[in-house]
Structures are given as C-alpha cells and as structure tokens.
Amino acid sequence: MTVLPFDFVPLWTLILGFGVFYYVLFDGFDLGVGILYGFAPDRAARNLVMNSIAPVWDGNETWLVLGGVGLLAAFPAAFAIILPAVYFPILAMLLALVFRGVAFEFHYRDVEHRTIWDHAFCYGSAVATFAQGVVLGAFIQGFQVDGRQFSGSAFDCFTPFSLFTGLALVCGYGLLGAGWLIMKTEGELQTWARRFGRYCFIGVLVAVAVVSLWTPLIEPYIAHRWFAWPNIGFLSPVPIVTALLALWEWRSLNNRSEAAAFIGAIGLFLMSYIGIAISLWPFIVPYKFTLWQAASAPSTQAFLLVGTLFLLPVILMYTGWSYWVFRGKVRADIGYH
Amino acid sequence: MPTTAAALSPLLLSRLQFAWVIAWHILLPAFTIGTASFIALLEGLHLATGRDVYGRLAAFWTRIFAIAFGMGVVSGIVMPFQFGTNWSRYADATANVLSPLFAYEGIMAFFLESAFLGVLLFGRKLVPRWAHFVAALMVALGTLFSAFWILAANSWMQTPAGYVIIDGRFYPADWLRIIFNPSFPYRFAHTVVGFYVTTGFVVIGVAAYYLRRGRFAEESRTMLSMTLWLLTVLVPLQIVIGDQHGLNTLAYQPAKIAAIEAHWNTESRMPLTLFAIPDEKNATNRAAIDIPDLGSLILTHDLNGVVRGLKEWPRDQWPPVAIPFFAFRIMVGIGLLMLALVATSWWLRARDRLQAVWFLRLCEFASPAGFVAVIAGWTTTEVGRQPWTVYGLLRTADSVSPALTGIDVALSFAGYILVYLAIYPVGLMMMARIVRRGPAEAPTEPIASGRPEGPVRALPAAGAEDSP
C-alpha cells in the first residue's frame, strides 16, 4: 500500500457535505411539493403541481444514492454503524420513495386507480420526509457502538426527539416545496402555494425554536459546544442570521415576489445545516467516530476524488441545463384547448 | 430440521431479502439497458434517414422505457442501502475497495441517465432534433456505464484481485486489477449481451402482437425485421461468450462449476449431466441422465480434461448444489430455444415468410424468455458464489449486520414483499396498456413544459382517450 502524504478527509467532508445539502434542497423541494400535492384544491391544480417537478425529480433522487454511496466510500465506518441503527426509518424511506416514484408514472397512465396513486404520491412523500427527519434526530442523539459496528436495537432510533425532528422536516420540506411552487405557478395556484407556505413556515419556526432548546438539553456535548466561552461569541451570528432570514421569508410569502420565498427557504435550510455541522464537528458518528477515524483508505479517497472533481462540475452543468430547458411557469394544457 | 429460531435467523432472512429486492430490480435494467440502446439506435436512424417510422417507434419505446426506468430508479435506490442496513460488516470490510466502484456508478451513470432522461422524455419539441438524439445516446451510455461499474464490483466479489487484507478489511493495491478482475470482462459481455437479447425478444414479441392483429403494419415490420437481424448476431454471440465465461469460472471458481454440474468426484472424461436430482447429503445424483465425456469437452474443450468435483473442498465451503444446477439448465435451455427461434427466422426470411402466423405466435410466446434466462443466470452465479460474499475470503455469515434480529429483518422483508408485489403488477399493466395503444403519431403540438403525454390525458376533457 502506498502511503499518500495528503490528507483527503477535509476535501471529502466538503464534497459529501455539499452532496447531502444538495440532496436535502433538491429532493427536499420535490418531496415538499409531493406533500403539498395532497392539499391541492382540484384535479387541474394537482396536475400542475406534479408537472412542476416531473422532469427533475429522478435526477434529484439520485443524489440520495450519491449521499449513501459517498458516505460508504469516504467514511465506511459511519455507513456501517449508522445504517443498521436507523434500519426502520431507512426502510420506511425507501418503500415510501418507491411508492412515490412510481406514482409519477402510474398517475398518468392508470385511470382507474388515479386516487390510489394520488395518495401514494402525497403519503409517500410525507413518509419519506418524516423518516429522513427521524434519521436526523437519531443521528444527533448518537448510536450505541461496539468496535466498528452498531450494537443497539433497531428500535433505539425512535425517541420523542427523533419523532419531533421527523415532523420538523415535514414542515421544512413543505416550505421548500411551497417556495418552488410559488416560483413555478401563477394566479390562484400561486396564492394557494403562498398560503400553505405560511402554514409550513410557522411549523418550521416552532420546530427550529424547539429543536434549538431541546438539543443542548439532551446532548451535553452540544450544549458545551454552543455555550462555552468563546464559542458563544463566534456562534452568535448563526441564530441572528437565521432570525433575519425568517423575517425575510415571512415577508416574501406575503408580498408579490416570485423567487424570494424559495431563496429564503434555502437560506433557512443552510443555516440549520451549518448549525448542525458546527454542533457535531468533528464527528461523523456523533460522539464515537471522528471524520478521520471513520475515513476510508487514503488511496480509496484519492481514486474516487480524481473522477469526482472532474465529473461533479460536469454533472452540475448539465443538471443546470436540464433545469433551464424546463424553466418558467409550468403549464399542462398548452395547445390542447 | 430448521427450528423456528433458524427460520427467523437474520442471516437467512437478509439473504432472502437481498435476493428478493435484487431479483425484482435486475428485471428492469435487463430491459432498460437494451431499450435505451434501441431508442438511441432508432433516434439515430430517424436523424440519418428522416423516415418517420423510426421517429414513431422511438417515441413509442420511450414511453415504455419511461415506466421501466422510473421503476428501475426507485428499486435501484434500495440496493446500496441494503449493504448498510443488512450487510454492514461486508460494507465495512470491502468499502475501501468496492465503494469507489459503486460511487463511480452513481456519478457517471445515474447522473448521465437522469439528467438527459428529462430531455429525452419531455424535450422532443423543446430542443433541436440532434440534441434529442444526443440525449438518447447519453441515456443509453449511462445505462452501460451503470452496468460496467456494478458488474465490476460484482465480479470483484466473485474473483477478487488487486487487494491486500489488513486487520480483516480489504485495502486497494492496484485499481486496474480491481476493476478488470479476472471474471469482469466475461461477466460484463455476457450480461450486457444478455440484456440486449432480452430486450430484442420483447421487441419482436410486440411486433408479432401487432402483425397478428393487422395493426401498425409498417412499424411492426420494421421492428421485427431489424430486431431479428440484431438477434441473428447477438444470440450466437451470447452462446460463445457464455462458453468463455464458463471456462473463466472453471479457472477461478471451480467449486461453483462443480455445483452447476452437480459434479461430486474429480475425474477426467466427465459426463455431461443433462438432468438429475442432486442429493447434497449423500454427494450423489439421483435419476441422472448423462452423456459420456461431453462434460469434459465443454468445460475444458478436451475429451480427457480433468474437472474437479465438490468432494475436493471441505463441506463448509460447498455452495448449494441443486439451485445453481437447475438455474443453469434453465438458462442454457432458454438460450438454445432462442437460437432455434432465430435460426427459424433465417429460414423464413429466405422464403420471404417472416410473417407466417405460427412464427408470429412463437415470437409472442417467447417475448418474456430473456427475463427468465437473466434471473436463472443471475441465480446460478450468485448462489454458486456461496458461502462467500467475497469469494474464498469473506463468508456470507460474517457479512451480515451484527445487531440485527430476526424480527427486524422479518418485518423489513415483509415490507419489501408487499410493496414490490403491489408495484410490479401495476407497472406491467401500464406497459401493457401502452403496447395495446401502440405507436400512434408522435404529438405535434408544442409543449411548454411538463409531460406531453400524461397530463393531457389526465385532464377531464381529454381523459376519454385513456379508455379505448
């Protein structure tokens, strides 16, 4: 084995961090759109809502694979510990994504069962989101570990805290989805999206406040990280910026701006994400394995890095092109009336 | 006798669950890899010749492809998570070597597929025709990249190379040897050609279905003729590749070959066992129908070739025998029947009677044959790999997640069974419905965004179209 003098861990942390955040934003908005779909006023509205994400959802969902496989590649110990620990949330997420994914296709072509697939789309999106939120909550609380393997029960991950973060993420993705719909629709449907955006926003506000109070109470490590001097000084911008963003988001949901609500929601997610990263650094398996302890062999990280650094920009470029092709307001009925 | 505790063993249940999710998943790439290339070919022919029939066929197969691909994506996302949830010790032990192969599949293949799929499916009127062809080509290329990386990983588990083991974990020593490990070129060729053949039989089945009913004559004749030419090349080629793959397996996984042939004693001039009921307990075959010497001839290309029997290995290194034995015979049997059908098509074509009703019936009947062969072949190679996940180095029993209980896996397995049994029949029904509707005129209306096909039919005013 060749010994490589370069430490790839920080770079892989950045790449994986970016990949997970990209997934959260992009599949986040289309899962959110899926949740809101269940509340759309009528058939025509539902069609527009689903159309707004039809060309992009599977591209977004593949980032989940990149996140999972990226974790395996860069931090295999984390992958091997976390996935069995969140066995049932992962199962629920995967099965829900299966239902939701096929609902896109079946919805259009299966006339008799349209309502079943309508439900599959909405509930599938909601369950997948909730399950991801439970994974997040369980992650923050940490896992029982023996050596390089999880040693607890598959049911340990269900705690009041993780169930709450599950609900919180449903509101969060709902807000992202509403922001997307405000941008992609017009008229009554846009007004409807703004209204549901406000509901989700209130949920997000409550969730952020409760999680921010609850987390330091149950995790002394995080409490110390937040409140010990001088950290509290360095970290104070996080809640302040979040509060400002919240104000901007509320105004955007209520005024006539098109894209501001989506951008504001992204900002809120970014702040929460940074908050979690700051709280848990340098752990990838909270309180047990640091990024360096869980890292794969340097030659593994190097081999994958070559292709990733070359392909990631290309991927982002043509993903951008794909969004550009389907830009503008979504309309289902052009040329048919 | 298996006790209740053994029946609820997390190991056995995890294996069954993995077999379940991968068997259903593999049906989709078996079809989409072929269909994607077929669509790219049709788009290319359309661009080159300007003949509308190619455009209509491309649009038709794209509609079917969309459903299969969507199902392939969601059933495929399940797969890498299985490594973590149920096979975490395997994941941790092999990650340094295998994870970049999985990751490269993700980066290169999935993204190429999904980024261009939107354009392929919904962009026909939004981008220039050449760009649409490029999108089709990229999607096809993406499916092939996907097969390349995932089969490289699978082949490494069969014939590991280019690694060192430190503290029970594998570390990479030579990436080229890891990727191009001894069985990979054979497995890749055998699998991709098998997938193309599988798709080919679906295409001629659909063409025959229309021709027998006198519908879409131009499209169907084009499909039938061009696909039978393709199969003329691919089916014999597949048999040659399969033979080479078998020789490779004999060199690197002789115990697997012994199981496939239910071959217990090492001998030269080994017979070919056409049929038998392998008795693993007594290490013998019952009701065997043997052809003398042919086994040695096929496996070693030499009548006097020595083939090692299972008794050469300790019992705890034996793969199950009956499953690979029968699965292999199903695969080879189907392959030979396919060859017979293709040979018949040459004879009919020479007499200009390709549309004889009995032949069309045969084509319809044969259309799912490839899927059965793919599942049988996959079963042969994967069950034949047992009792190892990494051949000869890491046991399946040492690969499973240690904290899992039988109840955990029983619950998840039940979930996968229910969901897949709900999804797959509906998916098949959807595709059958598109086939029944047939390759109608490509829509000519400009589409601003969203789906040209679905939403329109979903609107109440146009909904009647859906119930012919």
As for the ipTM of the complex, it is 0.88
Taking a contact as any Cβ pair under 8 Å apart, which residues of chain B between 28 and 87 contact chain A? 66-67, 69-71, 73-78, 80-81, 83-86
Assess contact for A296 and A3: CB atoms under 8 A.
Answer: no
Which member of A76, A98, A308 has the closest CB to residue B419? Answer: A98
Taking a contact as any Cβ pair under 8 Å apart, which residues of chain B between 198 and 237 contact chain A? none
Instruction: Please report the pLDDT score of residue A288 as a whole number.
Output: 87
Element (H, E) at B166: strand B163-166
Distance of residue A280 Cα from the nearest chain B Cα, in angstroms:
22
Integer Cα distance of A278 and A276 in angstroms = 5
**B464 at A interface, C-beta within 8 A:** no
Integer Cα distance of B172 and A261 in angstroms = 47
Name the residue in chain A with its Cα closest to that of B462: A336
Centroid of chain to Cα A290? 22
Integer Cα distance of B456 and B144 in angstroms = 33
Distance of residue A74 Cα from the nearest chain B Cα, in angstroms:
8
Integer Cα distance of A104 and B74 in angstroms = 11
| Residues of B in Cβ contact (< 8 Å) with A335 | 445-447
| Residues of B in Cβ contact (< 8 Å) with A97 | 74, 77
Averaged over successive runs of 10 residues, the pLDDT of chain B (468 residues) comes to: 61 94 93 93 90 89 88 86 92 93 84 74 79 89 91 95 92 94 95 96 93 88 91 94 92 90 86 86 82 83 85 90 93 94 90 87 93 95 93 92 91 93 89 86 42 34 32
B110:A62 CB<8 A = yes
Distance of residue B131 Cα from the nearest chain A Cα, in angstroms:
12
A87:B408 CB<8 A = yes
Residue B105: φ, ψ to 5°: -60, -45
Instruction: Please report the pLDDT score of residue A111 as a whole number.
Output: 59
B70:A83 CB<8 A = no
Assess contact for A334 and B444: CB atoms under 8 A.
Answer: no
The pLDDT profile of chain A, 337 residues, written as one tens digit per residue, is 455 568 889 999 999 999 999 999 999 999 999 999 988 888 888 888 888 888 778 778 888 888 899 999 999 999 999 999 999 999 999 999 888 888 877 766 655 666 788 888 899 999 999 999 999 999 999 899 898 998 888 899 899 999 999 999 999 999 999 999 999 888 888 889 999 999 999 999 999 999 989 988 888 888 888 888 788 888 888 888 898 998 988 888 888 888 888 898 999 999 999 888 888 888 888 888 899 998 898 999 999 998 888 888 888 887 887 788 777 787 654 322 2
**pLDDT tens column, B192-217:** 999 999 999 999 999 999 999 888 88
Integer Cα distance of B222 and B354 in angstroms = 12
SS3 B285: strand
Instruction: Please report the pLDDT score of residue A36 as a whole number.
Output: 92
**For chain A, what's the residue count?**
337
Distance of residue B433 Cα from the nearest chain A Cα, in angstroms:
8
